[in-house]
Amino acid sequence: MPVPTYDPEDIAATCLKRTMLGIAAITAITPNIDIVLWGQPDETAPMPFTILEYFRGGWEKDEMVTNTADVWIKAAIRTTDIVVAEAYRAALASLHQATLIVSDFTNVSPYAKIYLESSVREYDPAQNIPIYKVGGIYSIRFVAN
């Protein structure tokens, strides 16, 4: 069976965003989640906000299931408040092993639970303003029919 022509990173990021918006602990801190698969995020956006960035992955060649994808997406909040950053890190704990919400697509189903591959903790002093980037790199696995 041929591999679908749409981009697996678009599907993964959209489904991860939908899943994150369904977790109250995350949206209580910030409901602002932007997908930036190529290029740079809008650094002028009001903080805090979450950026979803493509990290690696794509369509797999699975002998058991056709049209499977394993895409890693980096999800990290950007904030100037370290207390908010730590609260967000704690809220993201509920994302690990969560079921991917695929309601934006009629031909996609989860293949595995969301898996935290690596934590992200970065500090970026931009123009003498501390910016904390806290989150994780998540493996998003799904099947497209």
Give the tens place of pLDDT for each residue, 12-63: 999 999 999 999 999 999 888 888 876 677 777 788 989 899 999 988 876 6
pLDDT of residue 45: 78
How far apart are the C-alpha atoms of 12 and 71, rounded to whole Å?
A: 7
- ∠ at Cα 32 (27, 37), nearest 5°? 120
For the four alpha carbons of 22, 139, 37 and 11, in that order, the dihedral sign comes to: negative
Segment 70-94 shows an average pLDDT of 93
Cβ contacts of residue 46 below 8 Å, gap of 6+? Answer: 32
For the chain, what percent of residues have pLDDT higher than 70? 92
Indicate the helix (H) or strand (E) that contains 72.
Answer: strand 68-79
Cα distance between residue 106 and residue 64, in whole Å: 22
Per-residue model confidence (pLDDT) at position 138: 96
Question: Can you list the domains of the chain with their CATH numbers?
Answer: 8-144 (3.30.2000.10)
User: How far from the centroid of its chain's Cα atoms is residue 58's Cα?
Assistant: 14
